[in-house]
Amino acid sequence: MSQTSSAEDSRISSELSESRARRRTLLTVSLASLFGLSVWFSTNAISDALEVEKSLSSSDVAWLTIAVQLGFVFGTLVIAATNLADILNARTLFFLSAIGAGLLNLLVIPIDDVGFMIAIRFGTGAFLGGVYPPAMKVLSGWFQKGRGFALGMMVGSLTLGSGSPHLLSSIFVDNWQAVIIGSSTLALIGGVAMRLFVSDGPYEVPAAKFKPSSMLTLFTNRGMRLTLLGYLGHMWELYAMWAWIGAFMAVVIGMRPLIGDSLDLASALTFLVFFVGAIASPLAGLYAERIGRTAVTSILMALSGGVAVFIGFLPVELAPLIVILALVWGATVISDSAQFSTAMTELSPPEYRGTMLTFQTGLGFLLTAGSIWLVPVLEDGVNWGVAFAVLAAGPLVGTLAMLRLRALPEAKQLAGGNR
């Protein structure tokens, strides 16, 4: 009897220890991701200052953002083609990449030539390709049940990290260099935290063999192909909205301080758009575990696409309503993201999980370069309404793809059978 009791006590103790380790890992990886990705929109947050200080045009500023996207695509495709995300330890890859991104971002301060600045931003994006997907792989090694929630937490951190330059900009209104230094410092801290304070999880798989052809599974497997299509529709909208929502809010709100002569209101509200997305992402993960990934992603894309259709057509006199809709957009446009990644981990071969995540992410970001470029072109040529409305095409295609997946047998592999 005593031996049985001792064995039961040992089992309970082991489960509690593992549960604490999972919570600690989730918190650390989320913070490391938040910090590591803080350099992504660093130039967007200070675009007005760069136009004045470095004589950049609005087109130049747009290319600084597009360069990060293209660099990210380059980095992820190289990592996927070499299976680096499954051959090299994911924590080490994250560490090296975050350090590289943080250091390169600092070069924005001394360099004035727009060509060199675009090259720097491209390199920063390439390093970020080794930050985001490896972080997802680290968490998938710790979580089997509840993976959608865990990745939702991490994507929430990504959202805060992406929006953090807008918060820094609202604080350091007259010191754009502080935004660059602050975001780079956060990236360095994030890399170190991942390397020193995170270990590999119990569901981590052994290192894979070099096999570039493994990427083709993303197109030949029906379930993975539909998940990719849903993700691409989601990405067409997401980063174009993130890249230009600050400029749109500046038009709607104007130049107004929030407190005294400090804290720019438009920048603060833009950060709030990112913040509500960070809160919504883990909540979407919880609901996806209960009602299904395809259901949650379809509902959220329908909502975000619906806002995109008409928010830009509203007159600035309705600023309070526009802000409310922007917050709804911010919450719905990102909170489905982790569920596409989670679905890919559930449908892909475990030994090439990192490669599939990285390849899917790279293709998604390749698409974002087009929508990020298109929005300011349409805004200059027509108006914000048309510019944002074209983004709704992505969620429409994505929703149709996920509803199709929901009707297939492969969907039973998702969310413990909840589709």
pLDDT digits (tens, 9 = 90+) for 152-192: 887 787 777 666 666 666 666 567 788 889 889 999 999 99
5 located within any domain: no
Q: How far, in Å, CA of 183 to CA of 94, rounded?
A: 17
DSSP one-letter code for 205: P
Query: Which pLDDT band holds residue 102 (cuts at 50, 70, 90)?
Result: very high
Evaluate if residue 17 carries a pLDDT over 60: yes
Query: Mean per-residue pLDDT for 286-296?
Result: 87
| Packing angle of the helix pair 58-81, 114-128 (nearest 10 deg) | 40
pLDDT higher at 44 or 253? 253
**How much is the pLDDT for 187?**
92
**How much is the pLDDT for 107?**
93
pLDDT higher at 105 or 254? 105
pLDDT higher at 211 or 218? 218
Q: Where in the sequence is the domain holding 39, given as residue range(s)?
A: 19-199+212-417
**How much is the pLDDT for 391?**
96
**How much is the pLDDT for 66?**
82
The answer to whether 22 touches 199, Cβ cutoff 8 Å, is no
The CA dihedral of 106, 110, 111, 117, to the nearest 10 degrees, is 20
Other beta carbons less than 10 A from residue 6's beta carbon: 10
**How much is the pLDDT for 208?**
60
**How much is the pLDDT for 152?**
82
pLDDT higher at 270 or 18? 270
Work out the percent of the chain whose per-residue pLDDT is above 90.
Answer: 30
Work out the percent of the chain whose per-residue pLDDT is above 70.
Answer: 86
**How much is the pLDDT for 180?**
87
Q: How far, in Å, CA of 87 to CA of 370, rounded?
A: 31
Q: How far, in Å, CA of 297 to CA of 52, rounded?
A: 41
80 located within any domain: yes
Residue 139: is it exposed, middle or buried by C-beta count within 10 angstroms (0-12/13-18/19+)? buried
207 located within any domain: no
Evaluate if residue 365 carries a pLDDT over 90: no
CA 233 remoteness from chain centre: 14
Query: Which pLDDT band holds residue 79 (cuts at 50, 70, 90)?
Result: confident
Evaluate if residue 234 carries a pLDDT over 90: yes
Query: Mean per-residue pLDDT for 307-317?
Result: 92
Tell me the sheet residues that pair with 177.
none
Q: Tell me which of 207-211, 263-267, 381-385 is least confident.
A: 207-211
pLDDT higher at 178 or 311? 311
3 located within any domain: no
**How much is the pLDDT for 233?**
96
7 located within any domain: no
* Cβ neighbours of residue 165 closer than 8 Å, sequence gap 6 or more: 38, 41, 42, 44, 45, 46, 179, 183
**How much is the pLDDT for 195?**
92
**How much is the pLDDT for 185?**
93
Evaluate if residue 309 carries a pLDDT over 90: yes
At 108-157, the pLDDT tens digits run: 899 888 899 999 999 999 999 899 888 888 888 888 777 778 878 877 87
204 located within any domain: no
**Encoded tokens for 195:** 């390397």
**How much is the pLDDT for 250?**
86
**How much is the pLDDT for 289?**
84
Evaluate if residue 12 carries a pLDDT over 70: no
**How much is the pLDDT for 120?**
93
Per the structure, the count of domains in the chain is: 1
pLDDT higher at 94 or 60? 94
The answer to whether 349 touches 213, Cβ cutoff 8 Å, is no
Evaluate if residue 229 carries a pLDDT over 90: yes
- The pTM score is 0.77
11 located within any domain: no
96 located within any domain: yes
Evaluate if residue 354 carries a pLDDT over 90: no
Evaluate if residue 255 carries a pLDDT over 70: no
Q: What is the CATH number of the domain that holds 250?
A: 1.20.1250.20
